[in-house]
A = this chain, B = another copy of it.
Amino acid sequence: MSEAASRAIAMLEPLLGDRLVTSQAVREHHSRDTSRLAPAMPDAVAFPRDEAEVQAIVRACAEHGVPVVPFGAGSSMEGHTIPIKGGISVDTREMNHIIAIVPEDSIAVVQPGVTRKQLNVELRETGLMFSVDPGADASLGGMASTRGSGTTAVRYGTMRENVMALRVVTPDGVAIHTGSRAKKSSTGYDLTHLFVGAEGTLGIITELTLRLHPQPEAVSSAVCSFASVRGAVEAVIETVQYGIPVARVEFLDEVAIENVNSHSGLTLPVAPTLFFEFHGTPAWVAEQSRIVEEITAGHGGSGFQWSTDADERGKLWQARHDLYWATKARRPGCELHTGDICVPISKLAENIVAAREDIDASPLIGQIIGHVGDGNYHTAYLIDPHEPAELAEAERLSERIVERALACGGTVSGEHGIGTAKLKYLRREHGEAVDVMKRIKAALDPKGIMNPGKMGQEG
């Protein structure tokens, strides 16, 4: 441990007591995320309970020039929370209080360690829900920091649209608030959106005001197979253009369908497939389903089945959520090398088809799934972690999907973020705007202590 870190830790021990931990096991837990990226150990892990403790931690680290790395549920897939320069990992799991739920305003105010499932359990009786669903039971602070989204973003938006206001401890230890409880505002620079997606490099979020949505009165789901990827994507484009506010629309390619069939006991035809979900009044849900059935039929869709049965729907979406594990089960001991491309929807079919052709021509096994209403698709290649050639091949495939996405006006990450894994693509996507980002980082964090070695400093 560096002398600076020792001093910062010594300064914080009287305040945090046994909530400042240097044991090997706890530090190891904070050295990795869910990705295949190399771990790196923090010097200590702090478990603050409130904003004042976060301020004390940041001030001590600022004084001694020690890195501060925010940590939520650890479900990052790109290395965001890995303390690559050491320092103190600030785990928000004890900041897990729901501060207020205001049904009349459709908002909830929470500490950053509250998870999305925890919030939704609490909301059950209110008729409201928190919509953003990345699959994992992530912390809301972490979801905000990575601008997370998931299956429902097509209807309800991502964290970008669902965070109304924040409290943040900036790198000098000052606590500020951004935004307000008003639904809109034209006052001041939009600092809320600056901190959403900043991946903990500009400060630590200590409180979030979140937008809630009405629990739908009725929900229907549908499955439909297609003769081609293009047919499936064109059906989605027409659905969106028609103005159908589809709540979820997920694409699974043939390989992904094989994986859910074998892992979750489904018997879906092995073909490009869409899972739909519709929210609304009973009459409106039925009308949406009927219109979409017609649209899919016009694009080679077959076997369109819709249902308002909750059990049937539950089984379908559970299978979709379990796909990560279903895929890993296909090759024991493997790791997933994942991609997270988002393109204009008009370019989605050609991007997915080309990615599929690349995989088919490669020795690697890979699948493609997508939140296709947003133009967001994920690749997952199964690689043996002990075979450098397989990693190199996965990187080669990744390079090609990135190149195609940028060439057609897309982005290298729809929802997973930059972390360390995608840093190499940041300037290719944003060009000289990266220098503006660096100037903002330097202005807010002149000592470079907040999650160092990542966005704002590198790239």
A42 within 8 A of B: no
Q: Which residue of B lies closest to A181 (CB)?
A: B409
7 closest residue pairs by CB, A with B: A181-B409, A193-B193, A104-B346, A443-B443, A214-B243, A185-B411, A182-B342
Choice from B180, B189, B245, B409 contacting A411 with Cβ under 8 Å:
B180
Cβ A429 vs Cβ B240 within 8 A:
no
A70 → chain B closest CB, angstroms: 16
- For residue A375, which residues in chain B have a CB less than 8 angstroms away from its CB? 182-183
- Out of B426, B433, B440, name the residue touching A443 (CB < 8 Å): B440
Q: Does A170 sit within 8 A of B, measured CB to CB? A: yes
Chain A interface helix/strand/loop/mixed:
mixed
- Oligomer copy total: 2
Q: Is A64 an interface residue (CB 8 A)?
A: no
Q: Which residues of A contact B (CB under 8 A)?
A: 102-107, 127-128, 146-149, 153, 158, 160-161, 170, 174-178, 180-191, 193-194, 196-198, 202, 213-214, 216-217, 237, 240-243, 245, 279-281, 283-284, 287, 291, 340, 342-346, 374-376, 405, 408-418, 422, 425-426, 429-437, 439-444, 455-456
Residue of B nearest to A174 (CB): B432
Contact of A147 among B104, B186, B417 (CB under 8 A): B186
Report the separation of the CA atoms of residues A147 and B192 in the bound assembly, to the nearest whole angstrom. Answer: 14
Query: A102 is contacted by which of B148, B346, B414, B416 (Cβ under 8 Å)?
Result: B346
Residue of B102, B176, B216, B426 near A432 (CB, 8 A) is: B176
Q: Do B149 and A182 have beta carbons less than 8 Å apart?
A: no
Q: Are A433 and B194 in contact (CB under 8 A)?
A: no
B432 touches A237 (CB 8 A): no
| Complexed CA–CA distance, A197 and B284 (Å) | 36
Instruction: Report if A418-B197 is in contact (Cβ < 8 Å); known contacts: A105-B344, A178-B433.
Output: no
Residue in B416, B436, B455 whose beta carbon sits within 8 Å of that of A170 in the complex: B436
From B193, B345, B413, B431, give the contact of A194 (CB < 8 A). Answer: B193
How far, in Å, is A324 (CB) from chain B's closest CB? 18
Question: Knowing A443-B442, A455-B188 touch, does A410 contact B344 (C-beta < 8 A)?
Answer: no
Contacts of A444 in B (CB 8 A): 436, 439-440
A102 touches B344 (CB 8 A): yes
With A243-B216, A436-B176 already in contact, the answer to whether A374 and B183 are too (CB < 8 A) is yes
Is there an interface contact between A430 and B197, defined as CB atoms closer than 8 Å?
Answer: no
B190, B376, B439: the one contacting A196 at CB < 8 Å is B190
The answer to whether residues A197 and B191 also contact, given A409-B181, A440-B440, A443-B443 and a CB cut-off of 8 A, is no
Q: Name the one of B197, B240, B243, B434 contacting A186, with C-beta atoms under 8 angstroms.
A: B197
- Offer 14 A-B interface pairs, CB within 8 angstroms, sorted by A: A176-B432, A181-B409, A182-B343, A186-B340, A187-B411, A187-B418, A187-B426, A189-B440, A189-B456, A190-B190, A214-B241, A245-B245, A281-B287, A283-B287
CB neighbours of A183 from chain B (8 A): 342, 344-345, 374-376
Chain B residues within an 8 Å CB radius of A202: 189
Q: Which residue of B lies closest to A149 (CB)?
A: B184
CB-CB nearest in chain B for A279? B243
- Say whether A188 contacts B430, CB under 8 Å: yes
Please tell me if the beta carbons of A194 and B190 are within 8 angstroms of each other in the complex: yes
Q: Is the CB of B422 within 8 A of A106?
A: no
Complex: A431 Cα to B188 Cα, angstroms? 11
A439 contacts across to B, CB distance below 8 A: 443-444
Q: Which residue of B lies closest to A280 (CB)?
A: B243
